[in-house]
Structure 1
């Protein structure tokens, strides 16, 4: 993925370590293989299938690619994902709470209502995704990049953000209460209202046109 050009007044681009994948991956059909508690899938490629009504705990996905896979009524709590790529997948309302993610990419995916509550997220990219209503409550996120992604009404309540960037993202009506945004660059996001206190926003980076909606959040009146 090409590095992003830094714009005037914004923070430096975040270096994200890409998934480490072998040249050859073994095809796997998860709906036939079955996904059970503590299942492990390694160096596999899953393509053009729908996984329905799956509930499993502590599943491991290591060095995998998912292409055009739909997950419906899927709960995978405490899952471990390492070196995984999702391309054009639908993970809407999937429960990945308390997951551990290292070097994962979501490319052109639907992640509406995706539940990553209390997840540990490292070196993860969300690129051109639809993630409205996604939940990142109490998540611990470091070196994470949201790129051209819609996060309207998403929930980052009491999450821990370190080296997290939001580039050309929609975050209107998202919740950031209890999340320290110091050093987080919001200048390339669009919003009319976000849930945050003045203490939460202290030290974050904004663009001049974002100053007015932020002052309105705190009940101030801007006289033009």
Structure 2
């Protein structure tokens, strides 16, 4: 249990490190590798994870509030009961991540990579997904209706059961080679 505030964590490597009941506030992570780390009951507020490697991590009951996640690598990670609120996660890598009960709220996830991720009860509320890669990710039950995007990398077979609004239908119609005439 602890509080880490107003710090730079630089050039650290930690394999299988465990962080439990820690609050990180205004912390910048730079040139670190936290592979296979475990974060449980952790809050990150106003932290900068730009271009950091957190591959194969287990993140449970965590919150990321107003964080910079640009280029963050969370590939092959397991996320359970995680909130991303007002985060900038453009180009973040969630490739092959296993996500259950995860919520992205008011986030920028432009060009983020969710390729072949597992999404169960994942909420994407008022988030920008323009250019995001979702190929190989089953979107059944995922509500994209209040998300912003003009281009989305997705395969037609993964769209079954996905919830979209009328304006987004044209984006998906192009996947099937349809031309919409007005």
The TM-score with structure 2 as length reference comes to: 0.98
> In the aligned structure 1, how far is the partner of 2:176 from the partner of 2:27?
43
* 2:73 pairs with 1:115: yes
Structure 2 residues without counterparts, runs of 5 or longer: none
* 2:100 pairs with 1:142: yes
> In the aligned structure 1, how far is the partner of 2:149 from the partner of 2:18?
36
Q: Provide the residue aligned with 2:116 in structure 1.
A: 158
Runs of 4+ in structure 1 deviating by more than 4 angstroms, as ranges, are: none
The TM-score with structure 1 as length reference comes to: 0.80
- Greater strand fraction, Structure 1 or Structure 2: 1
Give the paired residue count: 182
CA contact (8 A) 2:123 2:143 kept: yes
Specify the structure having the higher radius of gyration (Cα): 1
Structure 1 residues 19-38: aligned runs within 5 Å: none
CA contact (8 A) 1:193 1:217 kept: no
> In the aligned structure 1, how far is the partner of 2:177 from the partner of 2:50?
35
Q: Provide the residue aligned with 1:27 in structure 2.
A: none
After superposition, give the CA deviation of every residue in 1:52-85 in whole Å (9 maximum; x if it has no partner). 1111211110000000000011110000000000
Calculate the aligned-residue CA RMSD, in Å: 0.7
Q: Provide the residue aligned with 1:200 in structure 2.
A: 158
